[in-house]
Amino acid sequence: MSLADGILAVLVMAVWGTNFVVIKFALGVLPPLLFATLRFLLVCFPAVLFLKRPAVPLRHLAAYGVLIGAGQFGLLYIAMTGFISPGLASLVVQTQVVFTIGLSMIFTGDRIRAYQIGAVLLAGAGIVVIATHAQGSATPLGLILIIGAALSWAGGNVVARLGGRVNMLAYVVWSSLFSVPPLLALSLFFEGPAAIATGLSHLDAGVLAAVAWQSAGNTMFGYSLWAWLLSRHPAATISPTALLVPVFGMSASALLLGEPLQDWKLLAAALVLGGLAVNFFWPLVKARTTFRRSES
């Protein structure tokens, strides 16, 4: 991978990681489900008018839209209304890797490997550390919501994988058409018209910029650039950079929001990221070792 492409990959991780601080800012004004509704509304309009629908079944787009919209970000935004800190949210949501492995076994016939079991155990130990030390930084409900968001993200990954090679930007834009209706319905039911009207009445330039950043920066820019990098390089080269998301997330939360980085948080981060690193790097290391043996 060239230096320029490496910088672009790190830039995407910086956008995705620091985005948790932006989410926290906007949630100070907007109810979480309304915030998610506005995010995906701006993702699909007006871009859907200019991007050709990807050649996948509508049920795939619908499933992805509901899982990522109402599932991942709906639950994430609710959790970040006081149930979990932004830094921990950026870390725990990365357990989507573990859930992706499990769902792939169920729906695509993938077999679990011994190293994947080790990766799951390491990441799980990190979550246990958080659950037993997170007083003031996360509640049990917050952890449940974020794990639900990670499971929804993993489900979206599996659905997207079933679609094969497509224009990922178009895929995200068109699937967002199916994110907006359930999010709006849930917002009306749980938050109510009065809370929605109050949130909309307090929109200012800062909050609008945060919503626009969620749509254009985090989703459209981030996903499209990520897909472009994956099209140019092997997944084993690009995917490990995702380990930087919680690094940026926890660092930004500490610097901009004053979120403390206690020793137990660093230990939890080391365990979770260690599990993810094992999952990413073990096959690559094994392949190189096998290749060297075959040459000798």
pLDDT tens sequence across 155-193: 988 888 787 778 888 998 999 999 999 999 999 999 999
pLDDT tens-digit series, residues 93-126: 988 877 877 887 787 676 777 887 888 888 888 8
pLDDT of residue 134: 75
Q: What is the pLDDT of residue 291?
A: 59
Cβ contacts of residue 77 below 8 Å, gap of 6+? 23, 27, 32, 33, 35, 36
pLDDT confidence tier of residue 206, bands split at 50, 70 and 90: very high
Q: How far is the C-alpha of 44 from the C-alpha of 53, rounded, in Å?
A: 11
| 8 Å CB contact between 27 and 35 | yes
Residue 235 has pLDDT above 70, yes or no: no
Compare 83 and 261 and report the one with higher pLDDT. Answer: 83
Kindly tell me if the per-residue pLDDT of 294 is higher than 80.
Answer: no
User: Which of 97-106, 203-212, 222-231 holds the top average pLDDT?
Assistant: 203-212
Give per-residue pLDDT as tens, 14-62: 998 999 999 999 999 999 999 999 999 999 999 999 999 999 999 999 9
pLDDT at 202: 92
Inform me whether the pLDDT recorded for 237 exceeds 70.
no
CA atoms within 13 A on the CB side of 146: 27
Mean pLDDT throughout 61-70?
Answer: 94
